[in-house]
Structures are given as C-alpha cells and as structure tokens.
Structure 1
Amino acid sequence: MIISMTGYGKSVQQLPQRKITVEIRTLNSKNLDLNLRIPSAYREKELDIRKIAAAQLSRGKIDLALHVENTSGKTGQKLNIDQIEQYIDQLSQIQNLDASDKLKLVEIATSFPDVFQNIEEEIEDSEFQIVLKTVNEALDAVNDYRETEGSILQEEFTNRINNIAQLLDDVIVDDKNRLDGIRTRLEKAVADLKEKVDENRFEQELIYYLEKYDITEEKVRLNNHLNYFKQTMSASTSQGKKLAFISQEIGREINTIGSKANHAAMQQKVVQMKDELEKIKEQMLNVL
C-alpha cells in the first residue's frame, strides 16, 4: 500500500471548564521532524506527547498544536502588584505628573504588558489522559487522511508504470525493425564499395557491431523493475524509500536503452518513458 506524508487531523474535547483542541499537519520530509506547540502548563508532559506522535507518524514534517481554552469564565491571570508599584514610583518622578493622583498613575502602570501574571495550574492526571485521548484521535484522523491520499498516489503510479510498460512493448517492436535495418544498410554499404570482402570476417564484424546496439538485457531488466515496483506498492506497509530506489533503477535502464537506440522512433518512446518516470519521482517525495 501507499501512504502519503501529507495529512491533516483535528480532534476536540469539551470538559466542564476547558476546551481541548489538537490539530496536526504533516508534510513530506526525509526524516521525522516533529514540532510541538503546547501551553506552558503542559511542558512537563511534552515528552509523552512526542513519543505517541513519533510512534504513529514515522516520517514527515509534523506540526502538532495543543490548544487549551478556559471556558470557566476565570481569566487565569493575576496582577503583578510588585511590578505595578515599581511603575507607579517611577511614573511619579516624571515632571508634570502629580503623585497624589494615584488613580491616574495606576491606569498608566497597568497599561504595560508585564503587569499580569499567568496562573500556573497543576495538571491533574485525569485531565492529561483526556489530552492524550484527544491527541490519539487527531493522529487517527491524520493517518486516515494519509491513507486516502496514498490510494490516489498509488493509482497515479500504477497508470505511469503501465504507460512505461506499454512504451517498452512498442520499443521491442521497433527494435526488431531497427536491427534488420542496420544490417541491410551495412550490407548495402559494403556492396557499394564494389570490393571483394571476406564473408566470414564481415559476418563477425557485423555481429560485433550489432551487439553494441543490442538492448535485450536492458529490456528484460526494465520489465523486471516495473513488475517489482508494482509488487512493492502492494506490500502491507508503505515502502517509499524502496520505491525511490526502484525508480532509480528504472531510470538507469531507460537511459541505457536511449543511448543504444540510434533510432528515431525508439528515441521518441524513450523520451516519453523518461517523462512518465519523472512524474513518478515528483510524487514519490510525498510517499511514506
């Protein structure tokens, strides 16, 4: 099966006083690149969340965001009284400000951003278990998304591989006519010389010359690689790296056929095969 590295998943849990939301986005990457964005109160639990995400999403660039919204009506913040008093003392020293007008000084002092402190609450284990449940549900949604995208990629790869196989069949037909044509041209060239030649020596040289253009081995290997690619796609797990290696071998055989072709019709089909393979390689970057 083919699994894409591109995915998205979201899960929401509503508690009596909190709303927990987990969003996960994944993109392609050679290795696991896991980025977590979680509230500071959950920092000590980050490793647990990271292990769960890494176990289910083995590769890719992954952004996991945990949002915890307070729905109890409490702000979760308190005034930093010491900081406010320091601002008031400093403001009262400014010319044209009356230290007796403390209300005005307080109003100015509380406009600064660092006069409020977040109230750090200890996370209860029961709440964290719900957070983990939400993370797992989001991960399940991501994996479902990846599998759906993967099935589309697999259909695309199958069509491209079948196109290359059809072009290879056409090349095999052209190849027979090509070798017959080369032999005829060489025999005509020798006949035009109007010189007597050693027939045995001529036949040996002709065989040697034709062997340089023989693509029998390349045709067999290319066909085997195409079949191996389809077999690997049907494996129980996604084999992105392995398929990439097979794609390289397919490209090597296509290039060799092209270098030996010396035939316009075959060269055109080789170009078409390269185009199909290039489209496979572009999409292969997204395969897990």
Structure 2
Amino acid sequence: MIKSMTGYGRGECTGGNVVFSVEIRSVNYRFLETVVRMPRLYAALEDLVKKSVAEKVARGRVDVFVSVETEDSKNKTIKVDKDLALAYYNSLKDLGEILGAPEQQIQLIDIARFPDVVVLEEGDPDMEEMAKALQTATEMALEQLVNMRREEGKRLRADLYSRIEKLEGFWMQINDRAPNVVVEYKEKLQARIKELLESVEVDESRLAAEVAFFADRSNITEELVRLQSHFAQFKAALDSAEPIGRKMDFLVQEMNREVNTIGAKANDLTISNLVIVAKSELEKIREQVQNIE
C-alpha cells in the first residue's frame, strides 16, 4: 500500500537522569533529507536518530526535534572536603584565640558556607543508557509518523484510482472515435472536391492516396496502446508495498506525453476536447503523486 510523505509523530522515554521527547514531522521531498535539532550536549547521538529514520522512511524531508529534561534528584551527590573544613576550623580557632573570642562561637553552618567545603556534584551521564532511551523515543515517534503516512496513503490511493478510471473513460471515447476520423475526412474531402469541381469527375485514385496519407499522419493506435499500458502499470503501483512515488511520477509524465501526441495527431475536434479534459485530470494526478513516498 502506498504511503504519503506527510506525517507527524511523537515519543518520550527516560534514560539515565534525563527524559527525551522526540517530535518528527515529514513533508514532500525528492529524496530523504533528515534534519535533527537537539541540545549540543547530546550531539553525539544525532547519527543514531538519523539511522532510525532511514530504516523507516524512504523519501521526504524529515525534521526531528529532540528536547531533554533533566531529573534533578537523580545522579547527584553531595561531597564534603573534610580536610578543607578542618583547615577552616583551625584557622577560625586560631583567630578566636588572637581576638579572645570563645571557641563555642564557631558554628558548623559557618564552616559549611566557606567555598568548596560542601559541593554538589553530578555523576557522569550513562551515554549507553541515554542512547537506548533516545532510540526508543525516536522509534515511538516514527511508528506514529509511519501510521499517519500510511493512512494518508489510503486516501491518496482512492483519489488516484478514481482519476485513472476517469482517464480510462476518456481513452475509450477516443478509441471509439478514432476510426471515424478518417472516414469523415474522406467524405468531407470528397464533398468539397465535388462542390468546387461540379463538372469534373473525382479521381478516386488520387482521393484514396490523399486519404491514406491523412490516415497515416493521424494514426494514434500506438499512442493509445502505450497509454493503456501506462494505466495498467499505474494501477499496479497503487498496490505496491515498496516506495513507488518516483515511478508513478515518471508514468504520469509518459501519460502526458502520449495524450499530447494524440491531441497533435488526431486532427479532430471531439478528440481534441477529450484531450483537454484528460490533460486537466493528469495535472491533478501529478500534483497528488508529489505526495507519495
């Protein structure tokens, strides 16, 4: 089943002392382009995100937004420099003796306030655990993204299938009309000659040669056969499980080429009008195909 290139997904997972939130948006693009925006501190994990995207998405511009929240209560320790605290205490004690202040005035809280006596330290982050958490959050977001692209693909398939059926209807009308073009041309030419040369008998051999030349020049059998083949390939592509957007884009170009040639060769007002309508339908198909992965 075909997939759209437009979608959105979100995932969240905790690893180590951080919570990763991943949002993924995708839009139309000829190739796969993944842009990751995340805090510089975690830039080493960017390739992991891009690899996960490449495993699930074949085409489109994919924007990945990674936000990180730190759980402050985790992975933090309080360190006391005992030697430094004792040095401060002894210094205060000596100062007290010099000033005649009693030793009891030295409070523990005063010593703790001196620089570097009590320090809050964060432990080294567990990059392996964080990488697993980020990958999990990314895969959750990608699952939602792919599901949305698949659902949009169903709608695109229904629309494109109905439009191809319309084109097949135009094809049948052109195919039915084509044989009559030469017959009508012969009758009009014969009537015109008689009108201009009432007293002169029509040279049937020259008339036949002129009609044969017109029939050869206006023959659209090959174009109709190729067009029918393109319709069949396009329908088959609509049910393909593989990324098929580029092939469908190519088929639309080829259909447009055949329709243009039919319009140029047919030399018939009815067929020309059908060609105009068919080209309008092909343009709508082309626009929709741009959304397919």
State the TM-score, normalized to the length of structure 1: 0.79
Given that residues 41 and 120 in structure 1 are in contact (C-alpha distance below 8 angstroms), is that contact kept between their aligned partners in structure 2? no
Provide the residue aligned with 1:20 in structure 2: 20
Give aligned pairs, total. Answer: 245
- Check if 1:224 corresponds to 2:233: no
- Check if 1:61 corresponds to 2:61: yes
Q: 1:272 to 1:121 in 2, by over 3 A?
A: farther
Provide the residue aligned with 1:6 in structure 2: 6
- Check if 1:43 corresponds to 2:50: no
Cα-to-partner distance string for 1:42-97 (whole Å, 9 max, x where unaligned): 111222222222222222111101111124369x9xxxxxxxxxxxxxxxxxxxxx
Given that residues 41 and 122 in structure 1 are in contact (C-alpha distance below 8 angstroms), is that contact kept between their aligned partners in structure 2? no
Provide the residue aligned with 1:167 in structure 2: 170
1:209 to partner: Cα distance = 1.6
Provide the residue aligned with 1:186 in structure 2: 189
1:7 to partner: Cα distance = 0.9
CA distance in 1, matches of 2:168, 2:123: 64
CA distance in 1, matches of 2:43, 2:243: 33
Given that residues 16 and 126 in structure 2 are in contact (C-alpha distance below 8 angstroms), is that contact kept between their aligned partners in structure 1? no
1:242 to partner: Cα distance = 0.7
Given that residues 38 and 67 in structure 1 are in contact (C-alpha distance below 8 angstroms), is that contact kept between their aligned partners in structure 2? yes
Deviating above 4 A after TM superposition, structure 1's stretches of 4 or more consecutive aligned residues are 14-17
Given that residues 42 and 123 in structure 1 are in contact (C-alpha distance below 8 angstroms), is that contact kept between their aligned partners in structure 2? no
Q: 1:120 to 1:14 in 2, by over 3 A?
A: closer
CA distance in 2, matches of 1:279, 1:155: 14
SS of 1:61's partner is strand
- Check if 1:142 corresponds to 2:145: yes
Provide the residue aligned with 1:85 in structure 2: none
Task: Name the aligned partner's letter for residue 267 of structure 1.
Answer: S
Provide the residue aligned with 2:255 in structure 1: 250
1:205 to partner: Cα distance = 2.2
Given that residues 251 and 277 in structure 1 are in contact (C-alpha distance below 8 angstroms), is that contact kept between their aligned partners in structure 2? yes
Task: Name the aligned partner's letter for residue 13 of structure 2.
Answer: Q
Given that residues 263 and 272 in structure 2 are in contact (C-alpha distance below 8 angstroms), is that contact kept between their aligned partners in structure 1? yes
CA distance in 1, matches of 2:154, 2:205: 59
Given that residues 262 and 275 in structure 2 are in contact (C-alpha distance below 8 angstroms), is that contact kept between their aligned partners in structure 1? yes
1:161 to partner: Cα distance = 0.6
Find 2:279's aligned residue among 259, 271, 274: 274
SS of 2:12's partner is strand
CA distance in 1, matches of 2:269, 2:258: 18
Structure 1: segments with no counterpart, 5+ residues: 77-118
Provide the residue aligned with 1:155 in structure 2: 158
1:121 to partner: Cα distance = 5.5
CA distance in 2, matches of 1:67, 1:248: 43
- Check if 1:198 corresponds to 2:200: no
SS of 2:279's partner is helix
The worse-fitting range, judged by mean Cα deviation, of 207-216 and 266-275 is 207-216
Given that residues 16 and 72 in structure 1 are in contact (C-alpha distance below 8 angstroms), is that contact kept between their aligned partners in structure 2? no
CA distance in 2, matches of 1:17, 1:215: 71
The share of aligned pairs that are identical, in percent, is 31
1:255 to partner: Cα distance = 0.4
1:16 to partner: Cα distance = 8.5
Structure 2: segments with no counterpart, 5+ residues: 77-121
Task: Name the aligned partner's letter for residue 132 of structure 1.
Answer: Q
1:283 to partner: Cα distance = 1.3
Find 2:216's aligned residue among 211, 215, 222: 211
Provide the residue aligned with 1:100 in structure 2: none
CA distance in 2, matches of 1:47, 1:16: 20
RMSD over aligned Cα atoms: 2.1
